[in-house]
Amino acid sequence: MNNIKTDSIYKNIQDAIRKAGENLGFSDTTITNITNPYNIITESIEVQGIDVPIDMYRVQFNNALGPYKGGIRFHPDVNLDEVKTLAITMMLKCSLVGIPMGGAKGGATLNPRDYDEKQLEAVARAWVRTMKDHIGVDKDIPAPDVNTNGQIMSYMVDEFEKLVGHSEPGVITGKPIAIGGSLGRTQATSQGGVYSLLKILEYFPEKAGDKKVVIQGFGNVGSYAATILDKEGFTIVGISDSRGAIYNPAGLDVQTIAEKKRQSRESLQDMFATNEDVIKLSNDELLVQECDILIPAALENQITDQNASDIKAGVILELANNPTSIAADKILNANNVLLIPDFLANAGGVTVSYFEWVQNRQQYYWTAKEVDERLFKFMTDATDKTYALGQKENLTLREAGFKLAVERIGKAVALRGNK
């Protein structure tokens, strides 16, 4: 991924919002408000134990619906355009699923593989010191994203509370249960995506085919999507990590693989180095293998005009953010591939983050069943609404979702009198 690619994704999203906003009759000022970030914070910071300064980012896109909300990514490709793109997507997501939060995103430009646990803790704490005045339970609530997890969130909440001098667990979501996390948060993005997928398959049962699934990315989101779908009776035939893919048309034992993968840094291909039933493929090859459902769960811009026409799946569930380029979207649509867009498909993560924030504020915690039932309701309601508008106005799920999301956020901005 490079800047040019994310830059164009950002511009495409801005254009799509502008178009939807114009169709909905919003003023130019309202449209400007929902296509440009309210605040951008970026600093290059010296971190103890690391010999190069680290670039830190927070983009606060829009808070008309409630406090800013969005994850923090640690990755060597993190740059301002990428963070802006992820922040505008968060705004759409919160708006579409109907939670009272705005959009934001953050990041630090580094390759976590180059650092040990102590150094990553130092980066997490330095990120919070940099952003201290901009985040808070009623201001902006970060969460995990690529290469950040419950442990990193624990360092962050600890640093923030030390700085402000009081307990404020709701400043960060995606925390471990022991320090105020919500039951169900770790697998929420994947579980929410599965609820949306199953709902869509109720409307298009023929698309389920033989229920064979390929998943790109086997981190938090990809691995839970695999194990949840496996339990739902789907067969996971291919998975990948950053170092390559494994494929077995007869199915992979994803429960065991996920267990192993969470406990070691071994690559998927190394895990199966001597197993001849399992075919080793590149990540690009994996995307075009035979399957019914393809789930990108890694990074941006993986399905492009270069590979879209070779995709065999009938359904794409975008658990990653912005995995499909606009050009690819058109090709997939022409080929009758049904695409469940990121800002709907992966909204389960921010939905349970919102539940965590509510529980932190009340200091009263819900059971796993309560979390799950509420997640189910948010995801299936948003999916139903998107499907219904798509049918009514002959729109794709992405176009319908865009329209619904822009309508809610645009109304809130206009009612506030714009900035």
Active-site residues, by number, are: 105
Nearer to ligand NAD, 10 or 218 (CB): 218
Residues in region 229-248 near ligand NAD by CB under 6 A: 240-242
Question: What residues are paired with 246 via a beta bridge?
Answer: 239, 280
Residue 91 in contact with residue 64, Cβ under 8 Å? no
216 or 227: CB nearest ligand NAD:
216
319 binds ligand NAD (CB under 6 A): yes
Please say which residue, 182 or 346, places its beta carbon nearer to ligand NAD. 346
299's tokens:
């990074």
Q: Rounded to the nearest whole angstrom, what is the least distance from the CB of residue 419 to ligand NAD in the complex? A: 27
* Start-to-end C-alpha separation, the chain: 33
Among 140, 145, 356, 372, binds ligand NAD (CB under 6 A): 145
* The one among 320, 332, 338, 405 contacting ligand NAD by CB under 6 A: 320
- Residue 227 within binding range of ligand NAD, rule CB under 6 A: no
> Judged by CB under 6 A, does residue 135 bind ligand NAD?
no
**Interacting span for ligand NAD (CB under 6 A) from 114-122, 175-183, 318-326, 410-418:** 318-326
How far apart, in whole angstroms, are the C-alpha atoms of residue 282 and residue 285? 5
Q: Is 85 in the site for ligand NAD (CB under 6 A)?
A: no
Choose, by CB under 6 A, the member of 144, 170, 314, 410 that binds ligand NAD: 144
Q: What is the dihedral of CA 402, 21, 5, 325, to 10 degrees?
A: 40
Nearest-angstrom CA–CA distance, 218 and 262:
10
Beta bridge partners of residue 69, listed in sequence order? 141
Of all residues in the shown chain, the one whose CB is closest to ligand NAD is 219
Question: Shortest approach of ligand NAD to residue 1 CB, angstroms?
Answer: 8
Minimum CB distance to ligand NAD smaller for 26 or for 354: 354
208 lies in the binding site for ligand NAD (CB under 6 A): no
Task: Quickly tell me which residue has 């178009």 as its tokens.
Answer: 19
CB of 80 to ligand NAD, least distance (A): 16
> 402: how many CB neighbours lie within 10 A of its CB?
24
Interaction with ligand NAD in 325-364: which residues (CB under 6 A)? Answer: 346, 349
Q: How far is the CB of 13 from ligand NAD (least distance, A)?
A: 14
CB 145 within 8 A of CB 114: no
The whole-angstrom separation of Cα 182 and Cα 417 is 35
**Closest CB to ligand NAD among 21 and 217?**
217
**Is 220 a residue that touches ligand NAD (CB under 6 A)?**
yes
Determine if 189 is a binding residue for ligand NAD (CB under 6 A). Answer: yes
Applying CB under 6 A, what is the total number of residues that bind ligand NAD? Answer: 24
What are 191's two structure tokens?
A: 């579980």
Q: Which of residues 258-317 bind ligand NAD (CB under 6 A)?
A: 283, 297-299
Distances (CA, A) of 7 to 2, 91, 101, 217, 268: 9, 17, 25, 23, 31
Say which residue the tokens 């400007």 belong to: 32
Q: Is 218 in the site for ligand NAD (CB under 6 A)?
A: yes
Contacts of 74 (CB under 8 A, 6+ apart): 107, 108, 110, 112, 120, 123, 146, 147, 148, 152
- 30 vs 322 by CB, closer to ligand NAD: 322
**287-307: burial string, b at 16+ Cβ within 10 Å, e else:** bbbebbbbbbbbbbbbbeeee
Residues in touch with ligand NAD (CB under 6 A): 144-147, 189, 216-222, 240-242, 283, 297-299, 319-321, 346, 349
